Amino acid sequence: MKTTRTLLAFILMSSALWLQAQDEVYCKDLDALIEMEQQHFSNRLNARSNPATHDYDLKYHRLEWSVDPTQRYITGTVTSYFVPEEAGFQQLHFDLSSALTVTAVKRNGNALTFSQSEDDLLTINLPQTLPVDQLDSVSITYKGTPIEDGFGSFVQGFHNNVPIIWTLSEPYGAKNWWPCKQDLNDKIDSIDVIVTTPSAYRVASNGLLVSETSIGLKKRYHWKHRYPIPAYLIAIGVTNYAVYSDFVPNPGGKSIEVLNYVYPEVLDQAKVATRSTVNIMQLYNELFGLYPFAEEKYGHAMFGFGGGMEHQTMSFMGGFSHLLQAHELAHQWFGDKITCGSWSDIWLNEGFATYLEGMTYQYGLGSNTWLNWKNQRISSITSAPDGSVFVKDTSSINRIFSGRLSYDKGAMLINMLRWKLGDEAFFAGVRNYLEDPKLAYGYAHTADLKRHLEAASSQDLTEFFNDWLYGQGYPSYHLNWDVVDDRLIVEVSQTTSHTSVDFYEMPIPIYVMGKGQDTLLRVEHTRQDQRFEFRLGFEVEGVVFDPNLEIISTGNSVQQRPVGVADRNPAPVKISAFPNPAGERVQLRVSDPEVIIRSIVCFDGTGRRLRKLNATDQTLYVGDLPPGYYVLWLNTNKGMGRAVLVKE
C-alpha cells in the first residue's frame, strides 16, 4: 500500500517519469494492487452488518453535508426513505459512530426521541407502529469529528500543501462519517449528495453534478445518482481539483462522459494518462455490453491512497497506470453492477477484473502483450502445486485476496472457459449474466454464471468447474508424436500437481508446423494415453503444445518417438536465450549438451507466427525483429523447447 507521502513524490515528477513510476508500481505486478485491496477489504470481513438494521429496506438517501478540507470535521443532515419489512416496526436503527453527535431527528417535521450507544447504533423511537411495506422517512441531523480508524473512512490530509478531504468506506467505514445501513444485501435505490464547502474547493461524488451554487464565501455542489448502490460505494472528495472531461463514443446513443477530478499539479500528465480509459471503455462496451451507468457518467477523482477504489461512477485513484485504470473500470461491471454474493465467490469480482486487464493487451492497448500477460499469470499460478479458485476458508484475508488464486487463477479460469466454449458462446453467456434482471445491480454466485454459460453454449460445465474451480492444482501435459504412412499420430497423457484432481478434461491446442505450412489442431482430451490421428497434407517438422497459452499448465513435454513407447515423465527440453533483452544476436543455451536444434519458429506477443529463424552454432540473428516480446519454439532431437525473448 502506498502512502500519501509516496503519492506526493510521484505527482511532483515530470510527465514521463510520473507515468513511468505508475507503470512500475502497477503494470509490472499486481502485488501492490492486491495488497491494497486486502487491507481495505479486511475491515469488510472482520466487521459484520448489524442485525438491528435488517428489518427494513432502504429506498433513498438525501445526504446533505458541510465540510472544510482544512478540518477533519463534518456536519450534516441525512434524510432516509425506507419500507418496514417486519410486523411491529416501532423503532428504526442506523449504524453511526458514537464519536458523532446526533442533534435532532425528525419525521414529517416532528421531533422524534432517539438514543446513541457505544456500539455505534443509533436507535430512533417512532410515535406508532408502522405497517409493513409502507414508505416512510426520517431526517437525522448530526455533527462531529470522524474517528481515525487506521485505514481511512474519512480522511483530512494534504497534496502539494493543499488540504483535501476524501472518503473510502469499503465496506463498513461509512458509519464513521454518516448514519447509514451497512448491510451488503440492501442496495439503496437512489441518492442525492449535496455538499457545501469553501469556494476554493470542488466536490467529486457519485452520479451527475446537478448544480454548483455560490453561497457567500462557500459553494454548494449537488450530485444525484439514480442506480442502486450500497453504502460503502458512496464517496466524496473535496479539494482544489482541476476538472476536465474525456468522452467515449457510443454508437447510436449519447457519448459517455469520463469526468476527471485531478490535482492541478499533475493536470498535464493526467490528461495524457486518462485517455487510456476512453479506449478501454470502448473495448469493454463492445465485449460486455454498454457501461452499466451510461445514463450518468464515469469518472476519476484523485485521493491520497496508493491504489484505487471503484466507487460507483467515480473511481477514486492514487495514480493513472494502465493496469489501475483497466482494473477499476472493469469493476463497474464486475463488482458494482453485479457484486459477488459470498467471499467464496470473490473470483467473480477479482478474476474478471484481472482478466479484463489482460484483454486490453490482447486488443492492443497498454504496454504489455497478451501472450506475456498470460505467461505471467500462469507462472504465478504454477509457482505452488495446490490451491483452488473457490475460497473454502473465508476466515483468511490472505486466502480470499490471494493474488495467485483469486486474481491470477480466477482470470485464467475465465480464459479457459473462453477457449472451451468459443468466443461466441462465452461472450453471449457473460452478457446474459450481466443483463439478468435477477442479478443486475444486485448480487450473484458462481452457480449464476455457470447457468448462463451453459445455456449459451449448450454444454454441461459441471466437470469443468469441479476440476478447475473447486479442485486444486493444474496439469502437466506429455505429448508423443510420430508420422506413420502420411498420418500424424499424437498420444497425450497428463500428470497433475495435486491429488484433488486425478485428470483434467479439456480441449487442448496442438500446433503442427511443416515445410511452408502449419495448422492449429483442437482435440478433446478426455482420458489418459489418448491417441489422435490426422491427415494434414504436408510433411510435419514439429509439434507444439498450447503455443498461445490457453490452459493453466507447466512442465509440459513434446517428443517425437515411435508411438506406444512414450516416456511417462519425460524431462522438458530447457532452453534459454542470452542476453535478454536482446540486441542483434542471442545465444541459445541448452541444459542438455546432447540436444540438437533442428528448426526454430518465432511467434510475436499476440501468438501470431512470424517466420522460421536460422541458428548457426546456437547463435541466432534477431536484428531485423522490431522491439517487443517473442516466443521461440525450437524443434530438437529430444522434443520441443521454448524460449522467451525480449527484443530491445
Q: Which grid cell is 66?
A: 458541510
DSSP state of 579: S
* Chain-centroid distance, C-alpha 334: 8
Helix or strand run (H / E) with residue 609: strand 609-613
Across the beta sheet with 56-66, the strand order is 110-111, 100-107, 136-144, 74-84, 56-66, 190-198, 218-225, 208-215
Average pLDDT over the chain, rounded to whole?
Answer: 90
Overall average pLDDT of the 92-98 stretch: 97
Pairing status of strand 114-116 against strand 121-130: antiparallel
CA–CA dist 452, 404 (Å, integer): 26
Q: Of 395 and 471, which is predicted with more confidence?
A: 471
The pLDDT score that the predictor gives to residue 151 is 60
Domains detected in the chain: 1-46+241-333 (3.30.2010.30), 51-239 (2.60.40.1730), 338-473 (1.10.390.10), 475-560 (2.60.40.1910), 573-647 (2.60.40.760)
Handedness of CA 175, 178, 181, 183 (dihedral sign): negative
Residues composing the chain: 648
Nearest one of 36, 530, 513, 101 to 303, comparing CA atoms: 36
**What single-letter DSSP state applies at residue 221?**
E
What are 443's three cell numbers?
448480487
Instruction: Calculate ∠ Cα 625-549-35, nearest 5°.
Output: 100
Q: Which position has the higher pLDDT, 580 or 416?
A: 416
User: Which of 459-473, 541-555, 563-577, 591-605 is predicted least confidently?
Assistant: 563-577
21 confidence band (pLDDT: 50, 70, 90): very low
CA distances from 194 to 56, 63, 131, 244, 307 (A): 25, 6, 31, 21, 26
- Whether the per-residue pLDDT at 67 is higher than 60: the answer is yes
DSSP 521-557: EEEEE-STTEEEEE--SS-EEEEEE-TT--S---S-E
Residue-wise pLDDT for 32-45, tens only, equals 677 777 766 665 55
* DSSP secondary structure string for all residues of 72-108: S-EEEEEEEEEEE-SSSEEEEEEE--TTEEEEEEEET
H/E run at residue 116? strand 114-116
Q: Whole-prediction pTM value?
A: 0.86
Bond preceding residue 579 cis, omega within 30 of 0 = yes
pLDDT tier for residue 604 given thresholds of 50, 70 and 90: confident
Alpha-carbon gap, residue 246 to 592, rounded angstroms: 56
Low-confidence winner among 170-184, 225-239, 293-307 (lowest mean pLDDT): 170-184
Measured distance CA(587)–CA(575) in Å, rounded: 10
- pLDDT tens for residues 183-197? 777 899 999 999 999
Tens of pLDDT, residues 375-400: 999 999 999 999 999 999 887 878 88
Sheet holding 89-95, edge to edge: 89-95, 121-130, 114-116
Compute, in degrees rounded to 10, the torsion defined by CA atoms 599, 605, 609, 615: -20
Q: What is the pLDDT of residue 447?
A: 98
